[in-house]
Amino acid sequence: MAGPLHFDALAETYEKARPPYPEALWSRLGELGVLRPGVRVLELGAGSGQATARLLGAGAEVVAVEPGGALAARLRQRCPGARVVVARAEDAELGGARFDLAVAATSVHWLDLDVVLPALHRAVVPGGHFAVWRTAFGDPRVRTRFRDRVDAIVARRGDEPVRPGPGELDTARWAERLSASGAFAVVHVEEFRWRIDLGADQVHGLFRTFSDWTADEAAAAGRAARDLGGTVTEHYVTPLVMLRRGDA
């Protein structure tokens, strides 16, 4: 199943299998001064709380918007300190609340930016920020035997039309799109490259959560990891685009 509600149907797997974000990203948010105790954060597409828990842990007050009912229920359980709004970012009723920081963690590609950016410009205070990041699962610069097997699974799709995936890994293009309206200006762009060891079961679960992968393909990825010794080292990229609210 492809589409934004794919994740909700797999809420439990999502929570268990998706890896956390790299520590260097969290350090940078602190160094840039956008994440600090007492900061008011609006998080869009919070899922089961992978980023929310860390935002709360840094002392932020968090309003977390998540359209999936099952994910929102997990989010409430995992992050009781957050106010959870079950809605699409495009429709969320925030009652005129104002925020110092908006966050979209691996969710911006699901948002209608023509609607969301003007709404964020109203919701974020002057001088406030919008932090956008996402993890790309598979660093195109690093080849591994496991990645060869992943490519072989994808190649079996043959001539079928390209499935809607999570969006291009072109950070400069994202920065341009996010700032084109003038509502926000880019102040920092950085790509965090990191790696993680995954067991075969986690590979299976993680690939199952990808909106452009079928259940059979995810099982094949799990088998590939098992064939390669049961644990594989994956190389990931997490690009961060930090924007500041424009005055206009």
**What residues have CB less than 8 Å from 136, skipping those under 6 apart?**
166, 169, 236, 237, 238, 239
Structure tokens at 50: 């992978």
Q: Which of 25, 62, 89, 178 binds ligand SAM (CB under 6 A)?
A: 89
Q: Beta strands 184-199 and 61-65: pairing type?
A: unpaired
Contact between 7 and ligand SAM per CB under 6 A: yes
Contact between 131 and ligand SAM per CB under 6 A: no
48, burial (CB in 10 Å: exposed 0-12, middle 13-18, buried 19+) = buried
Contact between 237 and ligand SAM per CB under 6 A: no
Helix (H, G, I), strand (E, B) or coil at 192: strand
Please identify which residue in the block is written with the tokens 């990808």. Answer: 210
Helix (H, G, I), strand (E, B) or coil at 184: strand
Contact set for ligand SAM, span 68-87 (CB under 6 A): 68, 71
Rounded to whole angstroms, how far apart are CA atoms 190 and 46? 22
**What residues have CB less than 8 Å from 213, skipping those under 6 apart?**
207, 221
Contact between 232 and ligand SAM per CB under 6 A: no
Contact between 107 and ligand SAM per CB under 6 A: yes
Contact between 153 and ligand SAM per CB under 6 A: no
Between 35 and 149, whose beta carbon lies closer to ligand SAM?
35
Between 107 and 171, whose beta carbon lies closer to ligand SAM?
107
Q: Which of 51, 85, 175, 237 binds ligand SAM (CB under 6 A)?
A: 51
Stretch that binds ligand SAM, among 2-10, 34-42, 123-131, 174-182 (CB under 6 A): 2-10
Query: Closest approach of Cβ 56 to ligand SAM, in Å?
Result: 14
Q: Provide the mask over 111-130, with x wherever binding to ligand SAM is found by CB under 6 A and - wherever it is not.
A: x-------------------
Rounded to whole angstroms, how far apart are CA atoms 6 and 208? 10
Between 47 and 149, whose beta carbon lies closer to ligand SAM?
47
Q: Which of 124, 213, 121 is nearest to 166 (CA)?
A: 213
Contact set for ligand SAM, span 10-39 (CB under 6 A): 18
- Give yes or no for a contact between 177 and 241, defined as CB atoms under 8 angstroms apart: no
- Give yes or no for a contact between 182 and 226, defined as CB atoms under 8 angstroms apart: no
Stretch that binds ligand SAM, among 44-52, 117-125, 140-148, 192-200 (CB under 6 A): 44-52
Between 149 and 237, whose beta carbon lies closer to ligand SAM?
237
Binding site for ligand SAM (CB under 6 A): 4, 7-8, 18, 44-47, 50-51, 65-68, 71, 88-90, 105-107, 110-111
